[in-house]
Structures are given as structure tokens and as C-alpha cells.
Amino acid sequence: MSPRKIRVLIIDDSAVVRKMATDALSSDPAIEVVGTAVDPYAARDKIKELLPDVITLDIEMPRMDGLTFLEILMQRRPVPVIVMSSLSQRGSEHALEALRLGAFDVIGKPGGSYSFGDLGPELITKIKAAGGTILRALPPPVKLTPLTRKPAATSNPRTFDPRSIILLGASTGGTEALRTVITKLPANLPGIAIVQHIPAMFSRAFADRLHSLSALDVREAVDGEKLLPGTALVAPGNFHLLLQWQGDHYRVRVTNGPQIWHQRPAVDMLFKSATDCGAAPHAVAGVLTGMGKDGAEGLLKLREKGAVTFAQDEATSIVYGMPRAAWENKGAQRQIPLGHVADFIIRQFAPSTTTSPAVSHTT
């Protein structure tokens, strides 16, 4: 008996995009496009009738925009949604808002519809990941309130070994997971390097949003800049982020290079560069939610050289792929619920007797 196909409903007001998305997805024998809809109103009845496993959703549509529909859908009938967003500043902001509202993942939609075919393999990969996911009941979306000012530095600033560093990697579900972590961290921590699998045009908007919500100075990394305490640098989409030690400080390299695990940026590239430049004994490194295995090998190398390592636990991961790989290969010393990750990081630089819920590998 052949395995059941993943049932997909495509919602887009463009007939051309609906046709091209249908053709791209239908080329994979594991996927069945069970229907299309021109807007959320037409989709509403088709969802009830067709019971899709995954929905692809355009954001900018007439009568009801995709974000409004997504929020209603997640509250009333949760189903994994892949959002298709234009590669523009406005599109980037909408894509991040969609992730906050519960979208499974986003994909950048080129302005020219005839280049849509290039997205076929990526869309298929995301559909398959979403189709294999049991969507957990989501809490109400967190209302994002930008800070009116950056909190002043503590009157008793901490002193760190200049080689101290924090390394984080994530993929599907990671933008919200990283928001949860970064917004709980104080400014008086070592520098943080972040790799999030994200479309090229969305990474700056992602970094800007984290900056507006965090005590940290968060920004998209620029090749050659210093990674200073109180700063978090996010890998630009479609570029690897590497770490170098120069005299008495770290600098980042933003490079092109081949994809690793079909990803650029790749978490493994960051982690392995940190090991190569001697950062491991001074590093706290972790892998958060995401599909695939990126980061597991690099995290193991860091652990073997003395880093404190962790993975997000299964219960709080949108996709328990990357954290599972890092746990099973023993790259992660412990598994930590998302809500306790920030406290765990803070404690590595301010030891206390308090412990957070975690599952640990024996050492």
C-alpha cells in the first residue's frame, strides 16, 4: 500500500501563481494539490471540504489579506501554513508577522511570476516538512511592543574573558524561538552570533525587529565587523556567517560559498569556524527548532573542544529536526525547554545554584 500523499491547498489571487505552484508541487509523487482558491473567502469552504494537510498562502489579496486570514485560521482550525511573500521591505515585515501569528514557514515570492519555477524545490521541501508536523495548539500571538529606549547598562557590569561568546542556530520556527530567547537576555552578555535559515531579503527585517524588542544591539552582520559584548549579529540571508579571532576580539566574516545541508547560511559553518578559531572553551552554543540536521556536526565539534552546548527540547520545538540530530549525535549536552533557554545562557556567565528543567547527557 503506497503512503498517503500530502494534501495541499493553494491560496493566491494570481491565476499564474496558482498554476505554477500546482505544476511544481504536482511533480513530486508524495504531494497532491487538492484544490486552489483565489482568496480567503473561497478558501474557507474548501478547507472544510478538502481537509488539506498544508496550505500555501499569499499575503496580499483582495477582500481579506493573508495575515488576517492566518490569524483566524490558527485560532479556529490550525493547519500548517507556508506563507508566500514578496521580496520587498513591506513583504519582509509581513512575513515576520505571519510567523508570529503561527505560520509554519515563509518563502520569498519573486516579483516576476515567470521566475517562480526556481522556487519549486524549496517549496516542495517545506511542504514535506510541514506535512509531517503535528501542529500543537498555539498560545495567543505575543503582542510585540518595541522598547522606547535601550535599557541603561547595569551599574555593576560583568567582566568576561574577551573570548567568551554565544552561538545560536535555528531554522523552521526559529524566528519566534529566537525572539523568545533574545528578548529575555540582558545587554551585559558576551557577543552573540546567530544563524537563522531565512530568505535573503527577510534577514535585515528580522534583525531590525529583534533590535526593537531587545536590550541587545541586534543587527544584520556586515563582513569584517567586530562582535562586541552586548551585540547580536544575524547572518544575512544567502550568506554564511563565520567567526575569526583577531588579537583581542572576534570579527565576523560574511561569505558566499556553497550551501551546506542545502542551506546558506548554515549553522554548521558558524559552529565549525568557532571551533577553528579557538572559541570552543569559551562558548555557549545551542540549536533551536528547525528541520534537517544543520548544526549537529558543528555542535559536536564545539562540545569536544570544551563548549557548553544545548538543544531545544522536543515539546517546545515547532520542528524537532535539528535539535533531535544534535541530541542524538551527542553534540548537545542537554535539552532545554524554549522558555528556559535565556536563563540557562545567563547562568553560564553568572553562576548560581538555580537549575532549569533540562535533560542531560552524562559526561
Catalytically active residues are 171, 197, 294
| Angstrom distance (rounded) from CA 309 to CA 297 | 12
Pairing of strands 334-336, 31-37: unpaired
| Angstrom distance (rounded) from CA 55 to CA 206 | 23
What are the backbone dihedrals phi and psi of residue 137, each rounded to the nearest 5 degrees, phi first? -60, 125
| Angstrom distance (rounded) from CA 254 to CA 220 | 10
What are the backbone dihedrals phi and psi of residue 336, each rounded to the nearest 5 degrees, phi first? -130, 135
Q: What is the DSSP string of 175-199?
A: HHHHHHHHTTS-SSS--EEEEE---
Q: Which has the closest alpha carbon to 101: 71, 139, 136, 69?
A: 71
Q: What is the DSSP string of 50-82?
A: H--SEEEEESS-SSS-HHHHHHHHHHHS---EE
